[in-house]
Every structure is written in C-alpha cells, then in structure tokens.
Structure 1
Amino acid sequence: MKCPCNPNNLYVDCCKKAHQNIYAATSPEILMRSRYSAFVLANIDYLQKSHHSLTRPSKLEKKEIETWTKSVEWIKLEVLKTTENTVEFKAYFYENNSLNMIHENSFFEKENNHWVYKKARLI
C-alpha cells in the first residue's frame, strides 16, 4: 500500500513505523505526516497519542473526529515549510462532493521524550 502522506513511499516504510511506535516520529515533519496518514486511515488512537496532553481532544471530540475523517475522501498532502518546531502544510480532501483544503502552520513540541502536536494556526 502506498503511504497517504507521500505516494512515492510504501506505508510500511513510512508512516506505519510511527503508527506502531510514536518514538519513530523523530521530527515535527515526520509526526505531522504520520498524523495526516492517521486521518486518512481513521487511526484515531494514534491521533490522540500524538496530540499534546494539554490540548488533546476529549472522548466526545474523538468520536466526532472519527466520524468526520471517515466521511471525507482524502486527496493529498503538501508540506510547504518546516522549521525546528513548526510545519506549514496543505491537506486536500473531498467533502460533500466539494474539494476542500486545510492550510495551517502546526506547532509541535516534545512531551514524554517524543514529538507531539500542540496547536495550529489556520492560514
């Protein structure tokens, strides 16, 4: 299977490593890519695990995220810029027969010795 974050890679050689072991996400970009793939695959447990404990969605929000991510068709991810703690990206998806895009600059930090998603600024 091709990896959702980059169809030039196989999932087993890319995001599956982080999905099986959060410590394999050794940079904010790798974590962000693995989170995108988790959205595509509706791997909500990984999304929770890779989210900072102070900003992690509640159980109710977790169910809402799962419902939403299964209701859209994910198209592609474009990583635009990375810094030491941020990743700017665009994620494209179809929802209700309409092409949509999330464009954000996400902030990451280390918690419990591994990278986690903390917050985002929509662009």
Structure 2
Amino acid sequence: MSPRRCPCGTGLTYVECCGRLHDGTATAGTAEQLMRSRYSAFAVSDAAHLLATWHPTTRPRTLDLDPGVRWTGLDVLATSGGSLLAAEGTVEFRAHHVVHRVARAQHELSRFAREGGRWFYLDGTSLA
C-alpha cells in the first residue's frame, strides 16, 4: 500500500507535508503553508491543530468539526505577502467538500499574521 497523499494537494505524502505540522515536528514557513495545513486539519479532523494555529485574538474557545463533511480538494487561487520574512499575508482559496452527498465549495480570502516566528490564522472573508 502506498503512503497516503496529503489532503492539501501538494502531491507529497501526508507525513512529508501537513502531517509534520499537525504533529508539531515542523511549523509553517509561509502563510500558504499554514493555510494548507489548516485545510488538511479539517480533512483529517484535527481540531487541536486548528485551534493552535488560530490567532489568540480571534480564536474560539472550542471547535466542533462536523463529521458529516468530507473535504475533497483544495485550490489555492492567490497569495499576497505571507513569505518567509513577511509579518502578514493573505491566501485566497477554494476548499471543496461534500455534505449529505452534495458537492460544495468554500471560496475564502484568509488573513494570516506571524508573531514570534509562527504563522497564525486571523480571519477570513467569504467570497461566495
């Protein structure tokens, strides 16, 4: 059996890609890498990673993931800032998922900030 591909769509295995961020052996170097790891966290039901990478000023106290949602693909449409040396950045993406056998997509522009050398998700705006 071949290793499982990462849900974020890089083509790498989960262990080589977002799995390292989820288990804490690596941190995101860019805003896009953090956004991809957060998408993968939804796909593998890792609420702890989502909360840990959410900025403290906007983070909810708890996060209940819907087990009826199956995440099926990610398209990164645009990035601004968010590089290795930047303090902030945005990532526009479309996250595909299936709910009750109905295919849907979430189109969002997410904002990220880097503090203490770590990237955090601030918030997102739905683009329909």
TM-score (structure 2 length as normaliser)? 0.86
Q: 1:58 aligns with which of 54, 61, 65?
A: 61
Paired position in structure 1 for 2:117: 113
| 2:75 counterpart residue number | 78
Q: Specify the code of the residue in structure 2 equivalent to 1:13.
A: E
How well do the aligned residues superpose, as a CA RMSD in angstroms?
1.4
Distance 2:121 2:102 in 1: 28
Match of 2:95 in 1: 91
2:86 corresponding residue in structure 1: none
Distance 1:7 1:31, change over 3 A: closer
Shift of 1:97: 1.5
Shift of 1:7: 5.9
Q: What is the percentage of aligned positions where both structures have the same residue?
A: 36
Report what 1:31 is aligned to: 34
CA distance in 1, matches of 2:26, 2:12: 20
Unaligned runs of 5+ in 1: none
TM-score by length of 1: 0.89
Give the number of aligned pairs: 117
Offset at residue 58 of structure 1 (A): 1.9
Structure 1 runs of 4+ off > 4 angstroms?
none
1:5 paired residue number: 8
Pairing partner for 2:108 from 101, 104, 107: 104
Q: In 2, Cα distance between the equivalents of 1:121 and 1:109?
A: 15
Distance 1:7 1:28, change over 3 A: closer
Query: Greater helix share, 1 or 2?
Result: 1
Structure 2 residues without counterparts, runs of 5 or longer? 82-88
Distance 1:83 1:35, change over 3 A: same
